[in-house]
Chain A
Amino acid sequence: MRLWNRVQSWLRAIVGRSRIESEMDAELRFHINAFAEDLVRSGVPSEEARRRANMEFGGIERTKEECREARGVSFTETLLQDLRYGLRMLRKNPGFTLIAAFTLALGIGANTAMFSVINAVLLHPLPYPDSHQLVLTFLGDATGSSSRSSYGIVDYLATRENQKSFSHFAAIGLGQNSFTYIGAGEPQRVRGTPATGEFFAALGVQALLGSTFNPASEAPGQPREVVLSFRFWQSQFGADPFIIGRSMLLDGQPYSVVGVMPSDFHFGPRDNDEIWPLLQLGPSEVRPPYWIAPFGRLKAGVTRVQAEADLSRIAEHEQHLFPKSSYDRVSIVPMKAFLVGDSRIALFTLQGAVLLVLLIAIVNVANLQVARASTRERELAIRTALGAGRGRLIRQLLTESLVLAAIGGTAGFALAQLGVRAMLTLAPDALPRMSEVTVDSRTLLVSSIFSLLSGILFGLVPAFRGSGGGIGMGLKSTTGSGQPAARHRLLAILVVAEFSLAVILLTGAGLLARSFERLLSATPGFSPQHLITVQLALPDARYPQESQIADFYRQLLERLEALPGVQSAGISMSLPPNLLALQNPFRTPAEPIVPGKELHAAEEMTVSPGYFRTLGVPLIAGRFFVDADRARSDQILIINQTLARQYFPNQDPVGQRLQTGDADERSPWETIVGVVGDVKYQGLDAKPESTIYVPYFEKGWTSWSREMFLVLRSTSSEAALMPAVRETVWSMDKQLPIASVRTMDALLADSIAQPRFRTVLLGSFAALSLILAAAGIYGVISYSVVQRTSEFGIRIALGADLNDLLCLVLTRGAKLALLGVAIGAPAAFMLARFMSSLLFGIAPADPLTFVGVSGLLLLVALCACYIPARRASRVDPMVALHYE
């Protein structure tokens, strides 16, 4: 009850301040007036009565002040007063305010920007209703020895019929991600994901226009359906409202448009011109190939473990039906976890790094505050003398810090917006879900928390320091030499802290930079300069025969090689550095087929004879393919060095034979005619794998070679060559799209976008921390030199060697820096261990990095200390002695 009264009167005091003030005024005036009237009634003249009433009442303002205090008005009062005072103090020291606010803005801005990324990539649910129920399913085996595999048709169909765990079960086809679309203009290649009938239903999304797929159309022979993205509908059909039911030609086949998705729907990057053709799957006689990625929406109450058991039962049954295959288990991965993948470690590392930057920034501002406190000591002492309590002073200093933090935070939030925009333009594909990154209310909240916390942190140190100490001490000392020893110790601790934080950051950045350098110098296995790559796709409808495909490519390559500026031309199913299309099992004659035992997998691809020469892949043994091989009836192969070394050690692989494809005794044996150097098809950071090359004109392989990469080695500039290449292609087939024209240099750069992104980010954070740490140590050493001016003066007067003085100051700086390095090193090593999966080609405890970082920090510390050290050695003894 009493507590409630208190709260009420408090609330009234805060909320209705002006009403309370006027009431108090009225109440006191009533008293004086009533008193004066009583006096008049007793015969005192009215002038005199008024005067006496006022006098006997006493100081009305003092009474009011006491009343305010009595009812707890003082809180808001004081706060407002402190705010005003704080702002005035900050305005009076624009230099300090600017530097401190900017330092904070950098720290808070970097944190906010980084958090926006984490927020979008890791924290936000996928943009589908109840997206936590969405999971992907993979085939595997009981031993867990084989890696996760996609599904084949057999497994997909069986699961669709028999599963009990999902409310919806759908899949996308992995074999194709673009389609040739012939509309009004030139034929084009459009982004498209083949999807089964339940695709949209499983994601839980509705069409904006028309409808999504009719699941009954999933059976082959039913009319083909396609759903368009909003952007595609706008760009290709001018947002035609009558589009539903129209037919469009994709890869030469008519598809009927059944729906248009809302503009905010995306599966993959946002705002894409995209289509989703219906994937129709009929029964299959064989279990492989595995090119279907199924996913489903878990029924309410079904756990992942239950679903895994349910689906494994189906896989086991299929394994029974196809004993030569080797998948009898299913593993389930939440869709979000799968999409986000291993970016988690990189993101946590970066966020941790940027938090360290903020800490360093806070330490730096605290440093500034402590140094400034010396000049404010008298001010604080006077306030104490006038009756301000210790708590009162702390509150005032803290309010001041919070004002500063608020300024820094606001600027930081603005910086974060810029930073995020810069990240999105510079590295749009650096992370999965990158297109979803925005600065939203949650980011704003986190940014405010960062500001508040930093305000409290850097405010508390000087507040407790500043409010301590006796009154006399502060008032008497005019040169601020109050308690220099204690302050020096505090400043030194802050500097050591800064350096230990900087060590962690620099080590992380150093390791990433060294890995990235290794990555850049990793040999891709060919010479990437002056190469142009183009995607070609020959539609089934117009090239039904293998001979037609082979003839087309032969003629095209001949014509292209005849072009001026083209040195050589080739085609391949896969391209380095990371555009691998197919992996295939194989065995050597030495390995018998054992049921249930998986064969080794090799990267296998069809190529033209000129492919190796065009890319510059070296021949190690035997020969390349030649045009004369077209006439052969037997099958031939070229293998890479890794395969040769691993499976034909100490023998000549040329002339040896391999079986490729699924384990089958009756498969033909194929003869190795050559060995070439290793080429990386699965990323520059991947280990070299076994690779098998087949001529594209070989029987059975040609129909697999409809979608090929064309590679040209040019003698002139790539840009000048392209029109002629286009002309040549269209002179043979006007309806072929020329898609994704890229230089090999660009493909290489794309393939390392992620490591580049994190290296650049962590590098800039580390640079920031280095600058801040340098500024911190510079400030502290300068301050100590000023404090010891007279001492230096006396030493010089007594004939001290100037170089000795220089050394004295430098040594002090170096000691602080080294102490910081020593303290930070173990933490840096822990960080290195944490991020070891991001490293390539170097160990987490890379000695060069650790030594280099320590040396760099020491060097920076010495440079930062050199200016104040020189100042110390130049002290004029006379001036110095007068100084105190």
Chain B
Amino acid sequence: MAKQVDLLQGTLEMLILKAVSLGPLHGYGVLLRIQQISKDRLEILQGSLYPALYRLEHNGLLVSEWGESENKRKAKYYRLTTAGRRKLRTEAENWNRMADVIAGILQSKPEEV
């Protein structure tokens, strides 16, 4: 098992948006999908998932409706809204740009300075 990394502040919401962008999910499903994509390298506090989901819904980035789960139980499914899709795109761009910058800084060699 790969080494687990703590989630960076503020990235959980972006990850949720990404997970949901691949198809509607219930809360537990969001957790599973993030773990699956990250190959279990991210540590997510299960309880912290829900306030984030509620906040995203309150801000209109997600909508929810009740549906039936794989094992025939009632579950609340979250879906991305147009605003949520836009948000995900800009967040991802920001993140990538930031990651590039940071990586560039970290890789810099003495002669470049």
Instruction: Report which A residues bind B (CB closer than 8 A).
Output: 1-2, 4-6, 9, 23, 26-28, 30-31, 33-35, 37, 56-60, 62-63, 66-67, 69-72
Closest to B63 in A: A5
Assess whether A30 is in contact with B26, with CB atoms less than 8 Å apart.
Answer: yes
- The CB with the most chain A CB atoms within 10 A, among B45, B60, B69, B71, is that of B60
A-B contact pairs, 7 of them (CB 8 A): A2-B83, A27-B26, A30-B26, A31-B27, A34-B75, A67-B51, A71-B58
Inter-chain contacts of A35 with B (CB < 8 A): 28, 46
Does B109 make an interface contact (CB < 8 A)?
no
Please, which residues of chain A bring their CB within 8 A of the CB of B55? Answer: 70-71
Total interface residues on B, CB under 8 Å, equals 25
Q: Quick one: closest B residue to A27, CB to CB? A: B76
Contacts A30-B73, A31-B28, A58-B45; A67 near B59 (Cβ below 8 A): no
**B91 at the binding interface (Cβ < 8 Å):** no
CB nearest neighbor in A for B26: A30
Q: Which residues of B contact A31 (CB under 8 A)?
A: 26-28, 31, 46, 50
Q: Is the CB of B50 within 8 A of A28?
A: yes
B9: interface (CB < 8 Å): no
Q: Which residues of B contact A72 (CB under 8 A)?
A: 58
Number of A-B residue pairs with CB-CB distance less than 8 Å in the complex they form: 78
Closest A-chain residue to B76, C-beta based? Answer: A27
Q: Binary interface profile of B, 22-57, with partner A (CB < 8 Å = 1, else 0)?
A: 000011100100000000000001111011101101
Distance of A72 Cα from B55 Cα, bound (Å): 9
Taking a contact as CB atoms closer than 8 A, the residue among B54, B60, B74, B76 that contacts A70 in the complex is B54
Are A6 and B47 in touch, CB under 8 angstroms? no
A56:B76 contact, CB within 8 angstroms: no
Given contacts A23-B66, A56-B46, A58-B45, 12 further A-B contacts (CB under 8 A): A5-B58, A6-B60, A30-B28, A30-B73, A30-B75, A31-B26, A31-B31, A31-B46, A34-B73, A35-B28, A35-B46, A63-B51
A58-B57 in contact given A26-B74, A30-B73, A30-B74 (Cβ < 8 Å)? no
Q: Are the C-beta atoms of A9 and B57 separated by less than 8 Å?
A: yes
The 9 closest A-B pairs by CB, nearest first: A58-B47, A5-B60, A66-B51, A70-B54, A2-B60, A70-B55, A63-B47, A71-B58, A34-B28
Distance between Cα atoms of A58 and B75 in the complex (Å): 20
Q: Which of chain A's residues has its CB closest to B55's CB?
A: A70
User: Are A1 and B83 in touch, CB under 8 angstroms?
Assistant: yes
Query: Contacts of B52 on A, CB cut-off 8 Å?
Result: 70
A71 touches B57 (CB 8 A): yes
How near does chain A come to B67, taking the closest CB pair, in angstroms?
11
Q: Which of A5, A6, A31 has the most CB of B within 10 A?
A: A31
Residues of B that sit less than 8 Å from A by CB: 26-28, 31, 45-48, 50-52, 54-55, 57-60, 66, 69, 71, 73-76, 83
* A58 with B46: CB separation less than 8 A: yes
Which A residue sits closest to B75, measured CB to CB? A30
Interface centre among A27, A30, A58, A60 (most CB of B within 10 A): A27
| Nearest residue, chain A, Cβ from B29 | A34
Instruction: Flag if B45 contacts A6 (CB, 8 Å).
Output: no
Most A CB within 10 A of own CB, among B48, B51, B66, B73: B51
Q: Which of B28, B48, B69 has the most CB of A within 10 A?
A: B28
Q: Which residues of A lie under 8 Å from residue B31 when comparing CB positions?
A: 31
> Across the interface, do A59 and B47 meet the contact criterion of CB distance under 8 Å?
yes
The answer on a CB contact under 8 Å between B47 and A2 is no
Cβ–Cβ contact A30 & B76, under 8 A: yes
CB-CB under 8 A from A34, the residues of chain B are 28, 69, 71, 73, 75
A63 to B48 alpha-carbon distance, docked (Å): 7
| List of A residues within 8 angstroms of B27 by Cβ | 27-28, 30-31
Chain A residue nearest to B73 (CB atoms) is A30
Which residues in B have their C-beta under 8 angstroms from that of A1?
60, 83
In the complex, the chain B residue whose C-beta lies closest to that of A30 is: B75
- Structural contact, B69 and A70, CB atoms closer than 8 A: no
Please indicate the chain B residues that have their CB under 8 angstroms from the CB of A37 in the complex.
71
Closest to A4 in B: B60
Nearest neighbor of B60 in chain A, beta-carbon distance: A5
Complex contact A6–B58 (CB within 8 A): yes
Q: Once the chains bind, are A69 and B51 in contact (CB under 8 Å)? A: yes
- Closest chain-A Cβ to B36's Cβ sits at a distance in Å of 12
How far does the alpha carbon of A23 sit from the alpha carbon of B55 in the complex, in Å?
A: 16
- Who on chain A is nearest to B45 by CB? A58
**Contact A9 B76, beta carbon cutoff 8 Å:** no
Do A57 and B47 have beta carbons less than 8 Å apart?
yes
Q: How far is the CA of A35 from the CA of B60 in the complex (A)?
A: 28
Q: Which of A9, A60, A63 contacts B58 (CB 8 A)?
A: A9
Interface centre among A33, A34, A59 (most CB of B within 10 A): A34
CB closest chain-B residue, reference A5: B60
Q: Is the CB of A67 within 8 A of B54?
A: yes
Please indicate the chain A residues that have their CB under 8 angstroms from the CB of B58 in the complex: 5-6, 9, 70-72
State the CA gap A9–B63 with chains docked (Å). 10
Given contacts A37-B71, A71-B54, contact A57 B46 (CB under 8 A): yes
In the complex, the chain B residue whose C-beta lies closest to that of A64 is B50
Most chain A Cβ neighbours within 10 Å, of B26, B50, B73, B75: B50
- Contact, CB under 8 Å: A27 / B45: no
On whether the beta carbons of B46 and A70 are closer than 8 Å, the reply is no
Chain A residues with CB under 8 Å of B26's CB are: 27, 30-31
Contact partners of B46 in chain A: CB under 8 A: 31, 35, 56-58
How far is B69's CA from A62's CA once the two chains are assembled, in angstroms?
A: 26
A58 touches B48 (CB 8 A): yes
Cβ contacts under 8 Å, B76 to chain A: 23, 26-27, 30
Closest A residue to B49 by beta carbon equals: A31
| Neighbouring B residues of A66 by C-beta, 8 Å | 50-51
Q: From the candidates B28, B51, B59, B74, name the one contacting A6 in the complex (CB within 8 A).
A: B59
Q: How far is the CB of B35 from chain A (nearest CB, A)?
A: 11
Task: Tell me which residues across on chain B come within 8 A of A2, comparing CB atoms.
Answer: 59-60, 83
Q: Which residue of B lies closest to A23 (CB)?
A: B76
Q: Residue on B with the closest CB to A26?
A: B74
Residues of the A chain whose Cβ atoms lie less than 8 Å from the Cβ of B75: 27, 30, 34
